[in-house]
Amino acid sequence: MTPRAVCTIDLDALTHNFGEVQRLVGPDVRVCAVVKANAYGHGAVPAARALLRAGAHALAVTNIDEAREVRGAGIGGPILVLSGVEPAHANEAVRLGLVPVVWDAAHLRGLAGEIAAGSRLPVHLKFDTGMRRLGADDAPGLAAVARELQVPVEGVFSHLACADEPGHTSVTQQLRAFEDAVEAVEATGLRPGIQHLANSAGILADPRTHLDMVRPGLLLYGCLPPPWVGELDLKPVMELKTRILHVKTVPAGSKVGYGWTYETTRESRLAVLPVGYGQGYPRALSNRAEVSLRGGRAPVVGTISMDHTTIDVTEIEGARLGDEVTLWGGTHGPDVMDLATRAGTIGYELLTRIPRDAPRIYKGKNE
């Protein structure tokens, strides 16, 4: 069965981007490479291998299911489990060599109570410094429980809420709140280990947030938020491509697609692509996006449907059935961050909504 869309993943570009992040934060700052959500749609296992080879200190995943996938491929290195591990899976976490995140004293007690005698499960304690999502409100209280239970605390951290808004006062506020939490933890007699705060946006927003370790995700995959364009020499890692399914010529005044949201102003050649929002190309790009083919750009016209997208190829000389079309990425394709802005969303969403069963072709010497 011919695939509707194919992702080409450039692992050399991924390695290059890692190097750019490491250069920015300096050699003394560790990099925990985030490979959650199937490495932002790029494929967790190949991305994890390439990033560890590039020098990543650790990997970060969301849950134990994602960790199982990475470990099942024979990949070593520390794995930080950002959404924690249920006590029922504590011994599996020990066996897999995972480092769960903990933000709740009762949960920490549950983990400690399940770990087999003689086993060791290091954790990172997460403090709420203003995100109001996951994180302990009582940092010294959580640290005291960890000391009481003799749970090894490998690190402490928090997460920035508004670092992607340049100059936002919350970054300084959260940094101070984190420093206060660490000081309170140290007062309990617990040495907090690795301290980390910055995600991709934090890395760019304020070097004071780099601390002992940073947790880049989006930057590694070649996506740079608009305020920081030019700050790093990043390369797109994913190129999403499809092929023309059908071409037809229609007269001026033809209405196109569901809801007739587009009308041709001249005789036009329209091409149909076998991808739509069912394959991760968002409906919100209807009449707002362009694709790349034959060295030119063709606009998306009409409403994107579940399985099809129509483009106007009138200005693309020789466009025909089977031509390769780049939806985003690569050397000449549209930038995924720009498309996300046009769709009223963020690059993270576009990358992660590509179905796992979409073929991914890996290239580069790190393949």
The catalytic residues are 36, 258
| Residue 308 CA from chain centroid, whole number | 26
φ and ψ at residue 105, rounded to 5 degrees: -65, -40
Q: What is d(CA 168, CA 241) in angstroms, rounded to the nearest whole number?
A: 37
Task: Check if the beta carbon of residue 327 is closer than 8 Å to that of residue 338.
Answer: no
The maximal CA–CA distance of the chain, rounded, in angstroms, is 78
Neighbouring C-alpha atoms within 13 Å toward the C-beta of 349: 14
User: Which is nearest to 142 in space by CA: 160, 122, 124?
Assistant: 124
SS3 330: coil
- The neighbour count for residue 345, using CB atoms within 10 Å, is 15
Q: What is d(CA 179, CA 321) in angstroms, rounded to the nearest whole number?
A: 60
User: Which is nearest to 360 in space by CA: 241, 230, 273?
Assistant: 241
Across the chain, where does the E strand assignment appear? Answer: 6-10, 30-34, 58-61, 79-81, 98-102, 123-126, 153-157, 194-196, 213-214, 238-243, 246-250, 255-256, 262-263, 268-273, 290-293, 296-299, 309-312, 324-328, 360-363
Q: What is d(CA 207, CA 192) in angstroms, rounded to the nearest whole number?
A: 21
Tokens (6 digits) for 106: 């009762």
Tokens (6 digits) for 46: 């190949």
Which residues, at least 6 apart from 162, have a Cβ–Cβ distance to it below 8 Å?
Answer: 168, 170, 171
φ and ψ at residue 324, rounded to 5 degrees: -75, 135
